Amino acid sequence: MNGWLDSGVMACQSDKSTPCASHVASNPVEARFQEPPNARQASLDDTLDSSRRTLANDSSITVLLKSATTSSSILGDTAEGTTTWVATSRNYKKVYRKIDKRILMWYCLIFAVLKIAEKNISNAAIINLEQGTGIKVQLGNLSSSQWAWIMSIFSHPYIVLDAFSVTLTKKLTPRIWLGRIMATWGVISMCQAATKSYAGLLVCRFFLGVAEAGFAPGAVFHISFRFPADHLPLRIAILSATSIFSGAFSGVIDFAISFLNGAGGLPGWRYLFLLEGAPAVVVGIVTCFTLPNYPQDAKFLSQKERDLSKSCFKIPSLTDSVLSGYAKRQAAVELESYSLKLCLNLGFVTLL
């Protein structure tokens, strides 16, 4: 064995112009540098392509690869012929802020308008009682059980139609369907001011639940196309806080409206339904014309920002089988989803 190695080394030393095959084979590191330049470049290209594929399939890594032959990109211009890896944290945070200002703040306004109008039925029962123009008196001295039905009838169609409404949000686009919910909800809320009997108010409350069904989950569905999963809970919490905060102020607003009692011959509770239902109609109509459906429709973002949004958020397509097939089957068989829905309904919805 030693003789064979010695003869190989002597053969290599005798001819310095060419690398010895046996010497190269016994030294892998040196063999790597003995490859022709074209082979080394091909190997580097293969490594780069493999890295691209790995990062493209890894949703936990948010980076942007700049092509070696491109002189400009979403993040800016660099020298032609260079390959640059740039972390996009500052860039996608900038896009997040724009979406928050344009989409999330608009939804906060919508939720505030809806919740103020939704809670006015409770305040309508207590305003102007001293003057004898309260809603219970004017609708025929309603009993406690009758008023309980007026309060709860809203929830019955809401629960039944919630899932169907979310499906229509997907089919008819969020801009059209959510705007429709707002507008029709406001119109029916204003119609409560024209009721003259227990039956009339009961019918209005029932169709109010029909009109509003699916708005909250539809809004969350729409926002989910703007933010990745780890950023979505904060936005949902902001919407929930807006609803609670607006509910805290609804009593003050209703108290102020009660001073219109007797103006124009109308009791205060009729003004309550009119003045708090009208903003929902206006906001709903504006929503139908201005709310962008999906990131590619967001005119308030530049083309570069829209491209960055789609590349970084990893948003699934509406026609993706994940949305239409697998996710539905998983939701149908997982007991956790049913227990969560049961707890939510028992916690937030009054059935009787």
Which CATH number fits the domain that encloses residue 279?
1.20.1250.20
**Side chain identity, residue 224:** S
Q: Rounded to two decimals, what is the model's pTM?
A: 0.65
Cα–Cα distance between 34 and 258 in angstroms, integer?
91
Give pLDDT tens digits for 18-48.
444 444 444 444 444 454 555 555 565 666 5
CB contact at 8 A, 64 and 307: no
Is residue 82 included in any domain, yes or no? no
CA separation, residue 173 to residues 162, 291, 320, 338 (Å): 16, 10, 16, 27
Is residue 211 included in any domain, yes or no? yes
CB atoms within 10 A of CB 146: 16
Q: What residues contact residue 261 under an 8 Å CB cut-off, 6+ apart?
A: 127, 128, 131, 133, 267, 268, 271
Task: State how many domains the chain has.
Answer: 1
CA separation, residue 303 to residues 95, 97, 222, 296 (Å): 12, 16, 20, 9
CB contact at 8 A, 201 and 151: no
Closest CA to 165 of 220, 124, 121: 220
Is residue 208 included in any domain, yes or no? yes
Predicted pLDDT of residue 325: 62
CA separation, residue 219 to residues 92, 183, 224, 346, 349 (Å): 22, 15, 9, 22, 19
Is residue 342 included in any domain, yes or no? no
Predicted pLDDT of residue 202: 94
User: Tokens for 1?
Assistant: 């064995």
Is residue 79 included in any domain, yes or no? no
Whose tokens are 């970084």? That residue is 312
Cα–Cα distance between 2 and 13 in angstroms, integer?
16
Cα–Cα distance between 127 and 175 in angstroms, integer?
36
Is residue 170 included in any domain, yes or no? yes
Q: Which residues partner with 85 through β-bridges?
A: 65
Three-class SS state of 72: strand
Cα–Cα distance between 199 and 214 in angstroms, integer?
25
Is residue 46 included in any domain, yes or no? no
CA separation, residue 235 to residues 227, 238, 297, 299 (Å): 9, 5, 20, 21
Domain coverage including residue 305: 94-315
> What mean pLDDT value characterizes the chain?
74
Closest CA to 95 of 292, 304, 254, 329: 304
Residue ranges for the chain with pLDDT beneath 70:
1-89, 308-352
CA separation, residue 28 to residues 25, 41, 42, 275, 341 (Å): 6, 18, 18, 83, 62
CB atoms within 10 A of CB 84: 15
Is residue 188 included in any domain, yes or no? yes
Predicted pLDDT of residue 131: 86
Which letter, b or e, does each residue of 157-196 get, where b requires 16 or more Cβ atoms within 10 Å of its Cβ? bbeebbeebbebbeeebbbbbbbbbbbbbbbbbbbbbebe
CB contact at 8 A, 205 and 135: no
Cα–Cα distance between 179 and 176 in angstroms, integer?
5
Q: Which residues partner with 86 through β-bridges?
A: 64
